[in-house]
């Protein structure tokens, strides 16, 4: 496993060593000892999630607050997404900044997103399956989010806003400024 820093503090790209032959491929998708050695972070994942979506869907920007905040390790099993992390930690040197990367079933890259970040992705290919590990359990009362097309964040989702398919809930999410003013 190779780990590369992103411009955002504590946010990393993981590239596994993939071993392929005529039968297919094998790779280790996560190794806690290697991750800790390469990042200095001691992560204990407790929940795995998976989503299926078609091209044009945007999921996010989501996060959990307080004691239910979650770090995530995101990867694509099939298809392709533009994965986005936004640092919403007020005391962070990268506060309010975002990072995006294409994750696909072909490139096998993963994005580690620490606690205190909003996360989302736009689906760039039909029949896409996204899998992610979380280091804390889901808690409905702690869920929150930011509108993905917030003009202050200015995220290029690889889709125009009128092309995007958002859930009813995501269409009503507050702007970055409105969220920050609430806390």
Catalytic residue among 98, 119, 132, 179: 132
Please measure the distance between the N-terminal and C-terminal CA atoms of the chain and give it in whole angstroms: 38
- In terms of phi and psi (left: phi > 0; alpha: psi -120 to 50; beta: otherwise), the region of 72 is beta
Q: Is 95 assigned a catalytic role?
A: no
CA distance 29 to 35: 11
Q: Please report the DSSP string for 83-106 in residue order.
A: EEEEE--TTSTTTT-EEEEEEETT
CA distance 13 to 4: 5
Catalytic residue among 62, 98, 119, 179: 62
Q: Is 132 assigned a catalytic role?
A: yes
Q: Which of the residues are catalytic?
A: 62, 132
């Amino acid at each position: 496993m190779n780990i590369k820093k992103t411009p955002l503090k504590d946010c990393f790209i993981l590239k596994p060593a993939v071993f392929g032959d005529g039968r297919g491929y094998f790779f280790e998708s996560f190794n806690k000892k290697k991750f800790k050695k390469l990042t200095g972070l001691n992560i204990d994942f407790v929940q795995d999630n998976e989503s299926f979506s078609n091209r044009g869907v945007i999921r996010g920007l989501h996060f959990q607050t307080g004691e239910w905040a979650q770090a995530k390790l995101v990867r694509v099993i099939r298809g392709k997404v533009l994965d986005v992390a936004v640092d919403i930690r007020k005391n962070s040197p990268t506060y309010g900044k975002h990072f995006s990367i294409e994750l696909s079933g072909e490139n096998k890259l993963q994005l580690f997103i620490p606690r205190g970040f909003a996360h989302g992705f736009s689906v760039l290919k039909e029949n896409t399956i996204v899998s992610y590990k979380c280091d804390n359990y889901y808690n409905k009362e702690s869920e929150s989010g930011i509108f993905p097309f917030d003009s202050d964040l200015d995220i290029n989702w690889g889709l125009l806003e009128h092309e995007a398919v958002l859930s009813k809930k995501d269409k009503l999410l507050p702007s970055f400024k409105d969220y920050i003013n609430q806390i």
